[in-house]
């Protein structure tokens, strides 16, 4: 039954996306070319509605069992409603945040989805207590916006989300978490069907309807799959979502360094940097796909590693992320502290050479 449902979701997403495209054009839900945008023509957005409809059909068919099922579905409705309003009327960041918080609070309180504690590597537990609620809400809202931020090139957010869903679903299979596997695969099939029209050259954008929905769903699935476990497993979803999380963190740091508002747009996100390096649109997307797949592979290895190996692997990954960020200009054109240290060390070594 699962396989049949996945096929139905995939085919349905392919069939209804052209209808959503016509609907978006009629409703005026379009993306206009601008200095910040990559595309040069008017593009219909609202494509995420096709992903959501296909996903809901799959969920109705299978109705996977979980105490959080109703709360998650309601949260999805709230976040998709927020995305639709934004695609139609371009909501301010404040109102979008209200919708995101409402969706997060719904699953946290009604669905009883909270990160209450983490088993520490050297024994004992770190109890979050009253902080469990804000930590969980911050995670959901943060990942929701992280996926939204990388939605800057054709097929980028859909592809990176698909890779994250494959990793989460695969690890859930190993853990025997039937609910996460079922929901993750249904969402994956629905997203891949939409990607048929969204990959470069795209004929429709997912808009905030899709980006917010995917970000929210992935954040919830990662919590369901990895909450209240060991410290190592607690880090796994962060690694899986390494691309959007890294891009978001560097965007925040970049704005702090440049003393600009956190909500101020710029053209120094990962995909912008790739294009400035001379990669084509398609090449940039495929390279970021490869980077997302690399993070997924690291997450799987990390989850199976022993304590010492896990910390060593994490240190290498963080160092690699910083080097790549400085090399491609993710922190800005003139901010390269680690590269400067490495150059100074190399110069010193050359001068001291006999």
Determine the angle formed by the axes of helices 307-328 and 231-240, rounding to 10 degrees: 30
Task: Report the alpha-carbon distance of residue 313 to residue 260 in Å, rounded.
Answer: 34
Return the SS3 of 230.
strand
Token code pair at residue 147? 């996926």
Binding site listing for Mg(2+): 148, 208
Q: How far is the CA of 188 from the CAs of 138, 150, 157, in angstroms?
A: 24, 18, 12
Q: Where are the beta strands (DSSP E) in 205-284?
A: none
* E strand or H helix that includes residue 182: helix 178-198
CA distance 153 to 283: 11
Angle at alpha carbon of residue 161, lines to 246 and 304, rounded to 5°: 70
CA dihedral 325, 329, 333, 336 (to 10 degrees): 30
- Using the 8-state DSSP alphabet, how is residue 80 labeled? H
Residues 132/174/316/310 CA torsion (nearest 10 deg): 70
Residue closest to 155 by CA, chosen among 216, 196, 188? 196
Q: How far is CA 256 from CA 139, 193, 261, 318, in A?
A: 21, 39, 8, 20
**Of 44, 4, 7, residue with least CA distance to 188:** 7
Q: Is 46 left (phi over 0), alpha (psi -120 to 50) or beta?
A: left
DSSP secondary structure letter of residue 202 = P
**Known binding site: residues?**
148, 208
């Amino acid at each position: 039954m699962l396989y049949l449902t996945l096929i139905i979701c995939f085919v349905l997403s392919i069939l209804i996306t052209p209808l959503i495209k016509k609907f978006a054009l009629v409703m005026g839900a379009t993306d206009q070319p601008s200095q910040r945008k990559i595309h040069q023509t008017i593009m219909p957005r609202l494509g995420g509605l096709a992903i959501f409809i296909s996903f809901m059909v799959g969920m109705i068919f299978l109705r996977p069992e979980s105490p959080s099922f109703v709360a998650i579905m309601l949260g999805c409705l709230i976040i998709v409603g927020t995305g639709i309003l934004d695609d139609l009327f371009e909501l301010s960041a404040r109102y979008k945040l209200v919708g995101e918080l409402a969706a997060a609070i719904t699953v946290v309180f009604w669905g009883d989805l909270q990160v209450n504690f983490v088993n520490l590597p050297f024994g004992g537990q770190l109890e979050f207590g009253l902080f469990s609620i804000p930590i969980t809400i911050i995670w959901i809202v943060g990942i929701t916006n992280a996926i939204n931020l990388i939605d800057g090139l054709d097929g980028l957010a859909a592809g990176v989300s698909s890779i994250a869903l494959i990793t989460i679903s695969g690890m859930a299979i190993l853990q025997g978490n039937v609910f996460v596997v079922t929901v993750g695969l249904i969402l994956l099939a629905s997203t891949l069907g939409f990607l048929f029209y969204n990959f470069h050259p795209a004929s429709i954008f997912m808009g905030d309807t899709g980006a917010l929905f995917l970000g929210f769903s992935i954040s919830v699935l990662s919590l369901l799959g990895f909450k209240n476990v060991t410290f190592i497993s607690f880090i796994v979803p962060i690694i899986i979502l390494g691309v959007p999380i890294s891009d978001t963190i560097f965007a925040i740091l970049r704005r702090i360094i440049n003393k600009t508002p956190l909500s101020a747009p710029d053209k120094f996100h990962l995909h912008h940097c790739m294009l400035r390096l001379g990669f084509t649109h398609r090449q940039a997307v495929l390279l970021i796909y490869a980077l997302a797949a690399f993070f997924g592979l690291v997450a799987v290895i990390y989850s199976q590693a022993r304590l010492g190996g896990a910390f060593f692997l994490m240190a290498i990954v963080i160092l690699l992320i910083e080097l790549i960020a400085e090399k491609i200009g993710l922190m800005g054109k003139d901010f390269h502290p680690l590269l400067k240290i490495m150059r100074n060390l190399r110069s010193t070594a050359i001068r001291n050479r006999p």
